[in-house]
Amino acid sequence: MTVPVVGLTGGIASGKSTVARAFALRGIPVVDADQLAREVVAPGSEGLAAVVREFGDDVLLSDGNLDRKAVAARVFADPTLRVKLQSILHPRIGQLSQQRLAEVPRDKPYAIYEAPLIVESGLHHGMQALIVVAIAPELQIERVMARDGRAREDAEARLRAQAPLERKLAAATYVIDNGRALSELDPQVDAVHAKILSALGGSTR
């Protein structure tokens, strides 16, 4: 048995990692799918070999790491390639995430699984609850531009490639509004944390 898993999702630059850090500060273990996505294609991994078989070795940097930007540009331009990449990465990320969640100490009340595509892949159905970080698309575009140094058009295209916020909100158990100052996140995280603990109450933890 693993501890209950609470999903944490939201669009690109909505503030998932920022919110995840706030939960981690409250002692809640966080498994980060983006981090796992890097691990499954680490140099020497079987996942990297599978990517190179599909994409060719020009997606390798001279130091043996995957050229993530080159792969991202290619799958962004070609939906068929994107599906192929996902079919390599998703099962491996899924397996590793199960392993990491199973390693969470039993004295933790729950663990957070942070991933951008929880709703799209239907993973929330198997979870205790789902937290969605909400932010208006215009602000999201500004934060993508600021954080990743992208041009507006590029940021807009990335947003269009994702499921709309409404779809994620429809699946949410809890919503955290990150359209305001960072200082307004902590009280919301405290409130959601308390609600999760209370929903879990009655269990023997």
Binding residues for ligand ADP, rule: CB under 6 A, are: 10, 12-18, 143, 147, 178, 181-182
Q: How far is the CB of 25 from ligand ADP (least distance, A)?
A: 14
In contact, 2 and 102? CB cutoff 8 Å: yes
Q: How far is the CB of 181 from ligand ADP (least distance, A)?
A: 6
Nearer to ligand ADP, 17 or 45 (CB): 17
- Alpha-carbon distance 112 to 32, whole Å? 8
CA 193 to chain centre: 19
In contact, 119 and 167? CB cutoff 8 Å: yes
Nearer to ligand ADP, 59 or 112 (CB): 112
Q: How far is the CB of 80 from ligand ADP (least distance, A)?
A: 26
Nearer to ligand ADP, 54 or 177 (CB): 177
In contact, 101 and 7? CB cutoff 8 Å: no
Q: How far is the CB of 71 from ligand ADP (least distance, A)?
A: 18
Q: Which run of H or of E encompasses 133?
A: strand 129-134
Nearer to ligand ADP, 30 or 89 (CB): 30
- Alpha-carbon distance 93 to 113, whole Å? 12
